[in-house]
Chains A and B, each alone.
Chain A
Amino acid sequence: MPRLSVWFVRLSFVHLFLGLTYGGLILANKGIPFAPWTWNLLPAHIESLLLGWMAQLGMGVAFWIFPRFGTGAPRGNVRLVWLALILLNAGIVMVGVQPFIGGNWLSLTGRVLETCSILLFAAVSWKRVKPLQFSNREASS
């Protein structure tokens, strides 16, 4: 597994932990009310689990296992994918903290960063989505 995939996958586990912790607090508060502020964790819960956990895990695994290029950088422009990783996580944090800080601009900026992240990732990965290329010997056997 390449280093960048290790970062994607481990950060996805961090978000799984955070998302489940936020969700657990919200659900427990539904059962035994102890802290009404837990409802402020709802955007962070959703963002951490849908984007931080599932999407980020998918991106890490895709970067690892998609077909590689035969010439040049085998997984495309890795710097752009690092940037995608940073933008995605910065966006998730911004959307998650918005209810505690206030200001729609924070949520909006976070969502823009998330969108830029996915566009960058898609741009780098696009050409890696291709049929397997066999050598002549494999093709004829």
Chain B
Amino acid sequence: MPLLTRIFIKTALVYFALALAFGILLTLRAPISLFPVYIHLFVFGWLTQLIFGVVYWMFPKYSTQLPRGHDPLVWIAYGAMNLGLILRAIAEPMQAFQANNVFGALLAISAVLQWLAGIAFIANTWGRVKEK
């Protein structure tokens, strides 16, 4: 299993545990709305990140020289995805609790980072999806 896959999967497992912990807080009726963070930690942090890691590992090779495509793109996807998610997990509940420009800007940055993660992953993987 390549390094990037191991990192994606282990990070995904951390998000899985975090998402379920947020689920506990939801059940305890925390004073601020945590549902959007809970669902995105689960679906993006856990499921999508796990898929990214496994696809990077198992999909057909891009070429002999670059079997898994351009690794820097995948590192960008990893970094942008996780920085974006962490910013979101902090700023989204705070913005709902007490809206201000700082948390608003952090949310906008988080949106761009999560979008960028998808673009980088697709850009690297598109060429690996091919007929045998």
Chain A residues within CB distance 8 Å of chain B: 1-3, 6, 9-10, 13, 16-17, 20-21, 23-25, 27-28, 30-32, 49-50, 53-54, 57
Contacts and interface: CB of A to CB of B under 8 A. Distances in A.
A32 B125 contact: no
**Interface majority SS on A: helix, strand, loop or mixed?**
helix
Interface residues on B, range: 20 to 34
A1 B132 CA distance: 5
Nearest to A18: B118
Interface string B113-127: 011011101100110
A36 to B, nearest CB: 15
A21 B118 CA distance: 9
Contact of A31 (B60, B108, B130): B108
A13 B51 contact: no
Interface in B86-106: 88, 91-92, 95, 103-106
The 6 A-B pairs with the shortest beta carbon distances in the complex, nearest first, are A31-B107, A27-B111, A31-B104, A24-B115, A20-B118, A28-B111
27 contacts: A6-B129, A13-B125, A13-B129, A16-B118, A16-B121, A16-B122, A17-B119, A17-B122, A20-B114, A20-B115, A20-B118, A20-B119, A21-B115, A23-B111, A24-B112, A27-B92, A27-B108, A27-B110, A27-B114, A30-B95, A31-B95, A31-B106, A31-B107, A31-B110, A31-B111, A32-B105, A50-B43
Interface of B: 43, 47-48, 51, 60, 88, 91-92, 95, 103-108, 110-112, 114-115, 117-119, 121-122, 125-126, 129-132
Contacts of A9: 129
Most A CB contacts (10 A, CB to CB) among B43, B92, B108 go to B108
A1 B107 contact: no
**Interface majority SS on B: helix, strand, loop or mixed?**
helix
Contacts of A6: 129-131
A50 B44 CA distance: 10
Given A10-B126, A27-B88, A30-B95, A54 B47 contact: yes
Given A31-B104, A31-B107, A24 B114 contact: yes
Nearest to A49: B43
Nearest to B110: A27
A65 to B, nearest CB: 9
Contacts of B110: 27, 31
